[in-house]
Amino acid sequence: MFLFSREVVGTTSRLLYFKSDYIVLLMKQIFLLLSTVLCLSLSSLSAHKPNVLFLAMDDQNDWIGCMGGHPLVKTPNIDALAARGTLFTNAHTQSPLCNPARTSLMVGLRPSTTGIHGLAPWFRDVRQWADLVSLPQHFANNGYQTYSNGKIYHSLRHQPADMDDPEFQHWGAIGGFGIPKPPKKLIPPTPFGDHALMDWGVWPLDNDDTTKSDWEVASKAIEMLDNMPKGKPFFLTAGFYLPHVPCYATQKWFDLYPDDASILPKMPKNDRDDVPFSSWWTHWSLPEPRQKWIEENDQDINLVRSYLASTSFIDNQIGRVLEALDRNGFTDNTIIVLWSDHGYHLGEKLITGKNTLWARSTRVPLIFAGPGVKGGQKCNLPAELLDMYPTLADLCDLPELKHLEGISLVPQLTNANASRKRPAITSHNQGNFSIVSEKWRYIHYVDGAEELYDIENDYDEWTNLASQKPDVLKKMRKWLPKIDNGPVEGSSHRVLTYYHGVPVWEGKIIGENDPVPHDD
């Protein structure tokens, strides 16, 4: 046994206390150092993530040079982007209407899931969906700076004052339809109320594009690129309004196209003789004039030429933004995605406008380019705008979100022939769907009526084969969504319901013997 004096024990105790204090202080310093290193590492990782340039067009159908939708259309900047990226030639919207289409792609859910079918409501006003993490929010939550310009959502152009978690962190150009506007409409009064947006033609007359709303959208996006802070990746949007009506463009863009019938699409008068009457219910009474009015008022060439001119003008704005991206040295580390919310009829199927389940309404441009994307590819596998959210998250290595209904397109971005089994699904109000594979378009209406087109051999969808292909119908029906919710509270504008066998369009019953409205 060892015996220690009180002095020795006291000295030893003091030494032990000193050593304990030293160890605690050392541990704190190590923890602080590790925290600093971790923060710097996370910051470094965030700084090296690819940027995203998110380019949107409004009502742009497949009349894009690289898509072959119109033989005369001129879109050199979009074509060049497609040439260095991957073009999805069989991409389709989730709805042929702005609000449900844009809501779907921005939150990653189908309209048949959310119940958002009309031009209202804004999804955050729906209690069930108010807290959904949107695409730009997901990027902001993972270290990105997010920027908005123009039309991305249907109606949101600035940050709501009562919203804690912003849709975008930085807001730029608002833009608008048909700005600047002529003193009065350029075309005769249109049916169904002579809506102010139903107009087209050469405007402004001074051939100056710099006063146009979409020029401003591009210019603000360029300004943001020119002044982009270093050290954080960005998610920057530019949402263009054209070729949505009113289709105003300056003379220089009209001069690209002949002023004669050579620019018109094929519009056979018997095009709807073999389709069900309920096909009319999805666009029963709308501001967009029918083919009948267009021809009677000598507007067919003018409308098509205005649409093509507007498309070429927007192509030019896209080129301006891409040039700024390159000039600022961002191109090599930026994923570019270009899309349109849905298509547009210009006389085909006896109508103008959208709101149908045929290709002219559902088929849209969808192009990816940049890191992780193989250049010079065309993919004819069915793709959906719904797929953009998971694809961009995948490309930028963001955490997976469980609520998303889309499927990442990354396998096809590296190999256009990579297997993809799911078709593209579009809905327009409850119970109305189109299902598109590589070969077939199947349409199911709310009353059970059906259409079927062999899109490999019948590009214009003129021959309904539903009565001749029962085996194909059976196969395609399996893809009808199991979730098919009706309109949520607050739904309005272009809403069709069908309860107890009675179709109701925008609150008015469609009678069993009511004639199709053409020029009311």
- Residue whose pair of structure tokens reads 């190999």 in the numeric block: 415
Percentages of the chain per state (helix, strand, coil), in multiples of 5: 35, 15, 50
Where is 276: in which H helix or E strand? Answer: none
Residue of 66, 70, 98, 247 marked active site: 98
Provide the pairing of β-strand 170-171 with 424-427. Answer: unpaired
Instruction: Based on the residue annotation, tell me whether 98 is a catalytic residue of this protein.
Output: yes
Provide the pairing of β-strand 508-509 with 502-505. Answer: antiparallel
Q: What angle do CA 191, 195, 200 make, to 5 degrees?
A: 95
Give the three-state DSSP class for 339: strand
Distance in angstroms between the alpha carbons of the first and the last residue of the chain: 113
Distance of CA 224 to the CA centre of its chain: 22
Query: Could you give the CA distance from residue 514 to residue 96 in angstroms, rounded to a whole number?
Result: 24
Q: Which positions ≥6 away from 188 have C-beta within 8 Å?
A: 297, 299
* Torsion, CA 200, CA 201, CA 207, CA 212, rounded to 10: 0
Query: Could you give the CA distance from residue 354 to residue 216 in angstroms, rounded to a whole number?
Result: 26
Where is 450: in which H helix or E strand? Answer: strand 450-454
* Helix axis angle, 76-83 to 300-327, nearest 10°: 50
Residue of 154, 244, 342, 444 marked active site: 154
69: left (phi over 0), alpha (psi -120 to 50) or beta: alpha
Instruction: Based on the residue annotation, tell me whether 154 is a catalytic residue of this protein.
Output: yes
Which residues are identified as catalytic?
98, 154
